[in-house]
Amino acid sequence: MIIFNTTFHVEDNVCNEYISYMKEIHIPRAAGSGFLHDPRFARIHPQHEENGSSYSLQFRVKNIDTLNHWFETEGLALQKELTERFGNKALGFVTLMEEIAL
């Protein structure tokens, strides 16, 4: 199982709108695809940030091929919508992690 994590840094003046958008539109659409599962959305406690806030959005996905298929068919459009809405006021980077069974 792969954990698909996107870490966002969001400017203060759009934080409330960003959180609402993620909870009401972005996460339900991504999870509704059937490819991404178990969404988790968290605020990252600040360490060295003076402005803005950081957030982590995580999904579980079967494998990288499934993630690539989702991204090509749905994810790219979601990413474009997020960028059009917030521009450089909500910037993200992706980390892929492979789950290790305990």
CATH classification of the domain holding 93: 3.30.70.100
Q: What is the pLDDT of residue 49?
A: 64
DSSP labels, the chain? -EEEEEEEEE-GGGHHHHHHHIIIIIHHHHHTTSSEEEEEEEEEPPSS-SSSEEEEEEEEES-HHHHHHHIIIIIHHHHHHHHHHHGGGEEEEEEEEE----
Residue 47 has a pLDDT of 79
Question: At residue 29, does pLDDT exceed 70?
Answer: yes
Structural domain range at position 47: 2-98
Domains of the chain: total: 1
The per-residue pLDDT for range 31-50, each reduced to its tens digit, is 999 999 999 999 999 877 67
